[in-house]
Chain A
């Protein structure tokens, strides 16, 4: 009785073993596919890694270029403003002299024409100063782009560290230090429509009126 039980167990085990081999045979093509996939994926991952490394090392150069554009624009704008400043002072002197000349000579058509032309030049100079403010708006937007670039670099660097145990500082050309204390308004717009100023004016008026009312109330309480 015991012997027949033992045989039954052995046959059961052999059956399980057979099932295992059958299952193994079915598994072999799948394992082949996994190996093929890994074979294809590893070079792809290496490629991705190289691309990230390449992009990460190029980012500082892009940031530096943006920064140098901002600096060059700033220098040029300041130079133009210096010239405008000098010309404005000359024009103011000319206007004073022409006015005194007008007082001496009385009404003169040609003199009036010169005065009117100078006024037009003065108005033009004023417009130049308004238009030159585009530099400030542009520099704020470029700062915002640089900030974005910095975030991308940080993300890529984190990925790179996961791929390989490599620090971003070990990469060649990754020497650009992003300014930590730069401030910018990413929404800065060169908008001469005056709509924002109108909004500001209405809010100033509203707030000041409120203040005046509270002052009146305080005054009445005192009385």
Chain B
């Protein structure tokens, strides 16, 4: 059974980058364009890990992380932030919301694979 990774990012190219990097490693990738879509997917699809951007329309990454952490059904899902926001305040805010890892764009696909395997293998 393939592990399912939910990728939330408003950039189609970043969704593609992550999908290309992770599907080669045998993960099933589900993509969505914002936090709102991610929140809608979570109850209907069993997700093993979430990779999220922070700057997104409708519901941003911070809200998405907080909402996952508040929901008892998926509060344990590992969350990796993938963002171009690389200053201390943004990183700390992401971690305080409940992210497990924080990757800054441009990212090395090997690093994404490493972070994912840290939680899923």
Question: Which chain A residues have a beta carbon within 8 Å of chain B's beta carbons?
Answer: 74, 77-78, 81-82, 84-85, 88-89, 92, 126, 129-137, 139-140, 181-185, 187-192, 196-197, 199-201, 203-204, 207
Contacts and interface: CB of A to CB of B under 8 A. Distances in A.
A84 B101 CA distance: 27
Contact of B92 (A77, A136, A137, A203): A203
A132 B17 contact: yes
Contacts of A190: 106
A29 B105 CA distance: 69
B56 interface: yes
Contacts, number: 108
| Interface size class, chain B | 35 or more
A203 B88 CA distance: 8
B87 to A, nearest CB: 8
A203 B95 contact: yes
Given A133-B106, A197-B104, A203-B88, A78 B20 contact: no
A200 B104 contact: yes
Contacts of B109: 126, 129-130
Contacts of A136: 11, 13-14, 84, 105-106
A92 B24 contact: yes
A82 B87 CA distance: 32
A131 B13 CA distance: 12
Contact of A203 (B58, B102, B105, B110): B102
B7 to A, nearest CB: 13
